Structure 1
Amino acid sequence: MNNKNTVLATLVATCLGFSTALYAHGDVVPQSVNTGELETIGEEWLDENPYRAPNEQNALAIDIGSSAYNQNCARCHGLEAQSGGIAPDLRLLEPGLDGDDWYKERVINGAVRNGAVYMPRMADYLSQEALWAIRTYIESRPLPE
């Protein structure tokens, strides 16, 4: 094999290797969240975020929610809850009960349009405690200017 063919073969093999690695990323399994230090909520979904200030566990929920968000939500909704345009900027959710209602609906039912899954049903993978901790974290992030 001459030098030109060797370079071409190496380039093709490298490209195939990268495309396989990218394809392997594929469907990402949500990462588990350790909520052991948070007060247990139970199976029945609450209507309102239980960790919102002035709850004494607010700071802990923000810490847990930060890790959970960045492992499970950031790839679509942006690092540190700053949307990069792929999915909605969650910092813009309405505060309080109205925003909680939309958030709860979305994490329980996901988002499907024309048969395409835009967001999985996160409640199938993460506990209510983890999901409310994520909401608490999102609420702690500064609004865009």
Structure 2
Amino acid sequence: MKNYAGRILAGAAIASLALVAGPQIMAHGDVTPQAVDTSDLPDIGEAWLEENPYSGNTRAIEIGSSAYNQNCARCHGLEAISGGIAPDLRYLELGASGDQWYMERYRNGSSHDGKVYMPPFGDVLGQKAGWAIRAFLETKYTEE
């Protein structure tokens, strides 16, 4: 009986906290895309490229890691290891065909039957940030 009363008190405490904290509790954190400072990266022009110009670039990988953690990890998981909500990005194909698939999703997002599964980031974060994130993801690649 004592254990049952303890559970009721604990539940009441959690419910009270939820009422007090209310809208300040966010399950996925701030989902507003976070700006990415790409000023340290070489300019790549305005036209969208089909292959990653920053592949293996140490500074791009650093910027991509930060950008990924701020904008992608909440769905795709820390270090690109998915918890099941979104695809595990460690398995993205390397090379030109992987670059093309990645950039298509990055630019246009993914939606099915009117439901948005991934928002488009191309116009929000830009091409340089996208390729920096891709450079970071290449360092996490693993075969199935």
User: What's the TM-score once normalised by structure 1's chain length?
Assistant: 0.82
**Contact 1:42–1:128, Cα closer than 8 Å, also in 2:** no
Residue 64 of structure 1 pairs with residue 67 of structure 2: no
Separation of aligned partners in 2, 1:26 and 1:105? 26
Aligned to 2:103: 104
Change (3 A) 1:131 1:12: same
Residue 140 of structure 1 pairs with residue 143 of structure 2: no
For residues 59-93 of structure 1, the C-alpha deviation after alignment (integer angstroms, 9 at most, x for no partner) is 11110000000100000001011111111011111
* Cα offset, 1:48, TM superposition: 0.2
* Cα offset, 1:21, TM superposition: 2.4
Code of the residue aligned with 1:117 in structure 2: it is V
Aligned to 2:19: 16
Let me know the Cα RMSD of the aligned residues.
2.3
Of all paired residues, the percent bearing the same amino acid is: 57
Aligned to 1:122: 121
Aligned to 1:49: 52
Structure 1 residues 77-96: aligned runs within 5 Å: 77-96=76-95
**Contact 2:61–2:132, Cα closer than 8 Å, also in 1:** yes
Separation of aligned partners in 2, 1:11 and 1:78? 27
**Contact 2:91–2:141, Cα closer than 8 Å, also in 1:** no
Change (3 A) 1:94 1:12: closer
User: What's the TM-score once normalised by structure 2's chain length?
Assistant: 0.83
**Structure 2 unmatched ranges of 5 or more:** 1-8
- Equivalenced residues, count: 135
Q: Secondary structure at the match of 1:125?
A: helix
